[in-house]
Amino acid sequence: MIGGFFDAHHASWSAADLDWFETLIEEQDVDIMGWAIGSIPCPPEWDTPMMQTMRSLDFVPLPK
């Protein structure tokens, strides 16, 4: 999910967006996933428009 988000969106990110992502991935993967799917509350410092985009999950291919 995290890598798919990066692959799908990074080309359009600003330097600030890239900084946000680089800092985010220093967090535990399980926490990032929980914040993105809503299974655990997202800390305010990560609850940004970038996290909202990650929550959309429109970049995750689903089996047909």
What is the pLDDT, as a whole number, of residue 23?
97
The model's pTM is 0.83
> Average pLDDT of the chain?
92
With bands split at pLDDT 50, 70 and 90, how would you rate the model's confidence at 62? low
The string of pLDDT tens digits covering residues 5-25 is 999 999 999 999 999 999 999
Within a domain: 29:
yes
Within a domain: 61:
no
Within a domain: 18:
yes
| Triad 33, 9, 56: Cα angle to 5° | 50
User: Do 60 and 25 meet the contact criterion of CB atoms below 8 Å apart?
Assistant: no
Provide the domain count of the chain: 1
Within a domain: 63:
no
Quote the domain boundaries for residue 40.
Answer: 2-7+14-56
With bands split at pLDDT 50, 70 and 90, how would you rate the model's confidence at 27? very high
Tell me the average pLDDT across 20-43: 96
The b/e string for 26-42 (b: 16+ C-beta within 10 A; e otherwise) is: eeeeeebeebbeeeeeb
